[in-house]
Structure 1
């Protein structure tokens, strides 16, 4: 079947936009082919430094004939309705079909040649392409990421005739800017296109460019007894900078190796797009680098390596200047600068934020086994490097440089590590700190962020989370779970809320909360805060944590409704919640669990219906009543025994035992519903049986809110 080949050839496309552009081209082409009624076998896109390419295999020569039926007004509808329907369909009254008093229009459309649809499709794609940034050039109206030079469009081996803003479609493209023959060349189809591009030193597929970079770079390092420092992000970027990437090993002045290795690597990566190199014997950085050129130099790259070495030395001299100047300055001066830096208009300065984090870290420290004084010290140093020269130049090194400076100024390793790692974990793949001091500061940092932005009602909405609160909440959850911290969240959240209101002096008259408490600040002056508002913020945050925990457990294969069922009990110990969810998940996977859940829902439905009629009967369940069914008596004794067993198991947090105790209710509940009529005509019997169902619901409700569980 015919093949469509489209290439949009332009000046250099920024590397960061290329893969997004390939996805957009694929989506836009697929949408328009589908809208035209065209099917295909395969649709593939490629992006490179100067071209976007689309290849669609297995397209039909023409669109299929289509017949569409449109429902119209009733046959006896007013004349105006009929006239409107006829205008819409382009038919006359005698061409309509009447069925059951309703008029229908049957519109037949003959298929169109596919080649005739391509010009309009390409025009729409080009003019509506969603580049993050685009430009106009010359006197035309077309916008593209960089000036568009050529359009190659072939269908079934023939040029598709059209032009866009004066750029005519043809069967011609160009090779490498420097290594190619220097002349445009024609192609017949995709296989010919790809072969000739390779001959002209252009690797079309980004995967091929990455492989060439890695293989050549590793080989160059291996020849000198060195090893390449892998960097996937940098590999993605340099693969978008060169059509024929050629790695070259260069030398670096060894004197720069006394700088922190993160500084050296970042200077190479951010400013020069170089790969770092390490010495396998020491596992430290080696005085070399790998630069990816877009040419094959006749001297093997010696001149290129030397030139790049000089540029790198200049960059590293700048880094050394920042390092030396920072060591002359120190934490006191940096912390003073934080007083003039606004964290958020409603949440004060960075210095005020540091005060809150330090106070909360001191409170959290005993809960995680850390020293309170050290926790406060580490927290007061944690944000200082934001005012340093090095972090001003390389914001990615916040925290990391603080750790180096803390050691340089004589702080203990534990404090320096806490300063370095307190931002962790920053994402699902980031490691979780385990050192107690680091955990205390990291939790304080994230909780201050969460409480602060929730207090000023800057919560995430939909897909928008400008302050990364979802990431902060997930970080708290991972810190708690992976360190097995047995600390209820709500008191900590309320404590931070108190710090926030007391230290910032929020005026809450406008929030409608009347329950305010007089407090004294450190200077003895009265301070107002709303204890009810703090309670509300804490409850909102607990619900937010529940949502984030559901996401985390769902990724681990757990059911999200089980988190709701456990959170409904009001527990805020995340470790206990997860253990309870795991035990509940295992229980519901058994026949006893599934059947007992069905029995619970049946009992709850009966009780809910009776509650609508009036209050449910209260008091003890009675046994030994005249003519009482043995199934009722058996369930009464089973419920009482289960209540005792469940309470004992929950006391020791043996949730598996609690589930086994509930499993013992399965047979008595089944037998009860099979043989006993709850709504007896005898009031005494009815009341006793409703009490019994209430007892069963209450016993199960001590483990989880089974009403929240689907199924």
Structure 2
């Protein structure tokens, strides 16, 4: 059967830029998958998506003009219902066949086949394969119905042409009004229709720079080249993005030695969705604006103007920025000048906000937090700030009780740390009341740090105010000092405990308060900073800060933390078995988890590991089935069998070594010491009957197994490694 490549394009008005990438991928993939399901395209067909501000398109290779016919076997009904005692068709069967356009003459062709405990009649037939026109129509309808459209528009269709034109009253719902549809199978047009449009081979190029308009697509394979050369459009999202990256680097080099555009994938995707043929230009603004914190200037240029600020080699903002234009005039000075005029008021606003905010101290804004509602059941931001202070104090108290030496500078002793944390927690939310953060909420915390330094507050406090939201997202940096760690933990715990305490838990993919992110933030700080803190004790010490506002959420919250930690560890490359083995023991200090995982991985690589893990699982099952709780106690005088005496002797030698290594925090050595038990354990199970008739022998052997189980499961539950 002959095949050719297929091209489908839907030409529309400007699509929402933040959604374009997903729209393009969805349109291409759903349409291609539908063609494959219908047998019109092979599983190995190459699918190439196209997405520009005004089009969604897809190119699919090796598409058939008609799908192959398929043999179909259809169950009709049980034989007992379909045939009478003489084997003739019953009225029920005749009626069924009539509904299918058949009569009783086909009865001899029906097959009697087993169907469960009875027999049923089956009809063999040939289902004609779909034609490309039929299949593509189905695929197109499916692709459009499944588009992840952020917001639907309703518009009216135009009816008639020329003198016969009249406004239509047929409403269409789609992301943007559609004006053209192209469907080509090789050289041939494929007749399909959607959104009031009939397919053809005509599309539109660049609004201002197309060499030919409309662009008449010759074949499915010439689509991208024709749009590029005749229509001045780079149709591929990926190619257009790569071209912008290339031009940004080239322009930065031209702007000055060592300069580089700011890296921002989301901005790059958005700009790619705004232009059809990019042209990167260099703009400038007055150096006086650089007195404003660079985060403010960068954000206003990125968010409001879609510019790429230029940084120097030390990541300091310069007074130059890159513009991604959609036009390429011979003289670009007017385009550059226009953009420079537009950006100045934005930067002037940022400077004004910065100057005005510094006229009031952060302390003077504290009272204003009492007027800002945080949550209907949890009170105001002022009340929240007081809870964060109380929890910060609890965190410092827990640190001071830590049994592991805390690497804190002698000058930052716990009383001083508590004082700094209290001050930072009190002021951390006050920048929410500033003009700058009111305009740019993304700068909360950052601006608080700037204003704290401007007021001459201790640098540790200023850094803590700036860092208390960290980590804000996956891969973000952690707080830079101990005060920041304490306040960040307190802030996140306040959010988690408060919302869990009023029943506002995440459900499915809905997490409006970003509680999963907050939990991962706590986990990262505890693990990566290796803080000597027990998570259960920390939560227990923080709950009283809420008084009677909440129900104690410690149990579900600890389960939530365990789940988030398990997910995070698996994403880092640890196997489910390794993670389960370590977390099964519910280690209170999360800072120990990485070392425990490393020890488990090293143990699993030993030749003795599989046998010992299986034996450990067996021991655990035996102890669970015991009539009563088993004490890890052995009477050497009752060791009658040589194998149990040998296991006891080995355990007496190995257990102290493993215990000593465990107490020193050398978990790898602790587990590896257990390898010597492999032989004695195997011999024990080969020749010793645990459930002996003699009650004293049975109790003693169970005590021996309990001692073994205790020695083997201090670092991790090794039974979880058993296949």
Q: Normalised by the size of structure 1, how large is the TM-score?
A: 0.89
Measured in 2, the distance between the counterparts of 1:619 and 1:35 equals 62
C-alpha deviation, 1:599, in angstroms = 1.1
Tell me what 1:436 maps to. 482
Is residue 7 from structure 1 mapped to residue 9 from structure 2 by the alignment? yes
Q: Does the C-alpha gap of structure 1 residues 698 and 71 become closer, same or farther in structure 2, counting only changes over 3 Å? A: farther
Is residue 323 from structure 1 mapped to residue 337 from structure 2 by the alignment? no
Contact 2:613–2:722 under 8 Å retained in 1: no
Listed one character per residue, the Cα deviations across residues 192-244 of structure 1 (whole Å, up to 9, x for unaligned) are: 22222111211112233233333333333433425232233222211111111
Measured in 2, the distance between the counterparts of 1:478 and 1:616 equals 38
Measured in 2, the distance between the counterparts of 1:99 and 1:401 equals 77
Is residue 676 from structure 1 mapped to residue 688 from structure 2 by the alignment? yes
Q: Does the C-alpha gap of structure 1 residues 373 and 10 become closer, same or farther in structure 2, counting only changes over 3 Å? A: same
Tell me what 1:413 maps to. 459
C-alpha deviation, 1:50, in angstroms = 0.7
C-alpha deviation, 1:358, in angstroms = 1.4
Q: Does the C-alpha gap of structure 1 residues 287 and 678 become closer, same or farther in structure 2, counting only changes over 3 Å? A: closer
Measured in 1, the distance between the counterparts of 2:460 and 2:377 equals 33
C-alpha deviation, 1:124, in angstroms = 4.0
Listed one character per residue, the Cα deviations across residues 69-104 of structure 1 (whole Å, up to 9, x for unaligned) are: 234543113768757865786655614211343322
C-alpha deviation, 1:392, in angstroms = 0.6
Tell me what 1:387 maps to. 433
Is residue 632 from structure 1 mapped to residue 644 from structure 2 by the alignment? yes
Measured in 2, the distance between the counterparts of 1:24 and 1:592 equals 50
Tell me what 1:215 maps to. 246
Match of 1:266 among 261, 286, 299: 299
Q: Does the C-alpha gap of structure 1 residues 249 and 110 become closer, same or farther in structure 2, counting only changes over 3 Å? A: same
Tell me what 2:616 maps to. 600
Contact 2:183–2:192 under 8 Å retained in 1: no
CA RMSD of aligned residues (A): 2.5
Match of 1:359 among 363, 385, 390: 390
Tell me what 1:515 maps to. none
Contact 1:69–1:105 under 8 Å retained in 2: yes
Match of 2:369 among 310, 319, 338: 338
Q: Does the C-alpha gap of structure 1 residues 352 and 81 become closer, same or farther in structure 2, counting only changes over 3 Å? A: farther
Measured in 1, the distance between the counterparts of 2:302 and 2:7 equals 36
Moved more, 422-431 or 216-225: 216-225
Contact 1:335–1:387 under 8 Å retained in 2: no
Tell me what 1:521 maps to. none
C-alpha deviation, 1:567, in angstroms = 3.7
Q: How many residue pairs end up in the alignment?
A: 675
Measured in 2, the distance between the counterparts of 1:221 and 1:380 equals 43
Tell me what 1:30 maps to. 32
Measured in 2, the distance between the counterparts of 1:447 and 1:80 equals 72
Contact 1:365–1:440 under 8 Å retained in 2: yes
Tell me what 1:647 maps to. 659
Tell me what 1:110 maps to. 128
Tell me what 2:522 maps to. 476
Q: How does 1:661-672 map to 2 (within 5 A)?
A: 661-672=673-684
Measured in 1, the distance between the counterparts of 2:93 and 2:704 equals 66
Find the residue that maps to 2:309 and give its secondary structure. Answer: strand
Listed one character per residue, the Cα deviations across residues 490-510 of structure 1 (whole Å, up to 9, x for unaligned) are: 12111110111x2xx32x7xx
Measured in 2, the distance between the counterparts of 1:702 and 1:344 equals 43
C-alpha deviation, 1:168, in angstroms = 1.9
C-alpha deviation, 1:131, in angstroms = 1.2
Measured in 1, the distance between the counterparts of 2:28 and 2:182 equals 17
Is residue 552 from structure 1 mapped to residue 582 from structure 2 by the alignment? no
Match of 1:700 among 691, 712, 716: 712
Contact 2:5–2:186 under 8 Å retained in 1: yes
Is residue 61 from structure 1 mapped to residue 94 from structure 2 by the alignment? no
Q: How does 1:552-571 map to 2 (within 5 A)?
A: 552-571=568-587
Contact 1:624–1:633 under 8 Å retained in 2: no
Contact 1:127–1:143 under 8 Å retained in 2: no
Tell me what 2:256 maps to. 225
Match of 1:181 among 206, 211, 214: 211
Contact 2:448–2:465 under 8 Å retained in 1: yes
RCO comparison, higher one (Cα < 8 Å, 6+): 2
Listed one character per residue, the Cα deviations across residues 162-182 of structure 1 (whole Å, up to 9, x for unaligned) are: 333432211111111001136
Measured in 1, the distance between the counterparts of 2:127 and 2:543 equals 67
Is residue 161 from structure 1 mapped to residue 174 from structure 2 by the alignment? no
Is residue 121 from structure 1 mapped to residue 139 from structure 2 by the alignment? yes
Measured in 1, the distance between the counterparts of 2:64 and 2:592 equals 60
Measured in 2, the distance between the counterparts of 1:606 and 1:117 equals 61
Find the residue that maps to 2:324 and give its secondary structure. Answer: strand
Measured in 2, the distance between the counterparts of 1:87 and 1:459 equals 57
Measured in 2, the distance between the counterparts of 1:442 and 1:342 equals 21
Tell me what 1:527 maps to. none
Contact 1:326–1:390 under 8 Å retained in 2: yes
Any gaps of 5 or more consecutive residues in structure 2? 83-89, 157-168, 400-405
Find the residue that maps to 1:329 and give its secondary structure. Answer: coil
Q: Does the C-alpha gap of structure 1 residues 298 and 644 become closer, same or farther in structure 2, counting only changes over 3 Å? A: closer
Contact 1:3–1:155 under 8 Å retained in 2: yes
Find the residue that maps to 1:691 and give its secondary structure. Answer: helix
Measured in 2, the distance between the counterparts of 1:319 and 1:170 equals 51
Contact 1:140–1:165 under 8 Å retained in 2: no
Measured in 1, the distance between the counterparts of 2:336 and 2:153 equals 34
Match of 1:98 among 101, 112, 120: 112
C-alpha deviation, 1:283, in angstroms = 5.2
Measured in 2, the distance between the counterparts of 1:540 and 1:419 equals 30
Tell me what 2:671 maps to. 659
Q: Does the C-alpha gap of structure 1 residues 682 and 349 become closer, same or farther in structure 2, counting only changes over 3 Å? A: same
Contact 1:542–1:572 under 8 Å retained in 2: no
Listed one character per residue, the Cα deviations across residues 93-134 of structure 1 (whole Å, up to 9, x for unaligned) are: 614211343322323212232234223432443355341112
Measured in 2, the distance between the counterparts of 1:272 and 1:600 equals 63
Measured in 2, the distance between the counterparts of 1:287 and 1:645 equals 64
Measured in 2, the distance between the counterparts of 1:110 and 1:19 equals 37
Match of 1:494 among 511, 529, 540: 540
Find the residue that maps to 2:371 and give its secondary structure. Answer: coil
Contact 1:363–1:372 under 8 Å retained in 2: no
Q: Does the C-alpha gap of structure 1 residues 250 and 685 become closer, same or farther in structure 2, counting only changes over 3 Å? A: closer
Q: Does the C-alpha gap of structure 1 residues 695 and 254 become closer, same or farther in structure 2, counting only changes over 3 Å? A: closer
Measured in 2, the distance between the counterparts of 1:699 and 1:37 equals 60
Q: Normalised by the size of structure 2, how large is the TM-score?
A: 0.88
Listed one character per residue, the Cα deviations across residues 558-606 of structure 1 (whole Å, up to 9, x for unaligned) are: 2334444444434311122332232123212312221111112223333
Find the residue that maps to 2:710 and give its secondary structure. Answer: helix
Measured in 2, the distance between the counterparts of 1:264 and 1:618 equals 68
C-alpha deviation, 1:288, in angstroms = 2.2
Tell me what 2:165 maps to. none
Measured in 2, the distance between the counterparts of 1:328 and 1:649 equals 59
Listed one character per residue, the Cα deviations across residues 589-625 of structure 1 (whole Å, up to 9, x for unaligned) are: 312221111112223333444x3xx336768433455
C-alpha deviation, 1:349, in angstroms = 1.0
Q: Does the C-alpha gap of structure 1 residues 274 and 619 become closer, same or farther in structure 2, counting only changes over 3 Å? A: closer
Tell me what 2:345 maps to. 314
Match of 2:510 among 455, 459, 464: 464
Tell me what 1:47 maps to. 51
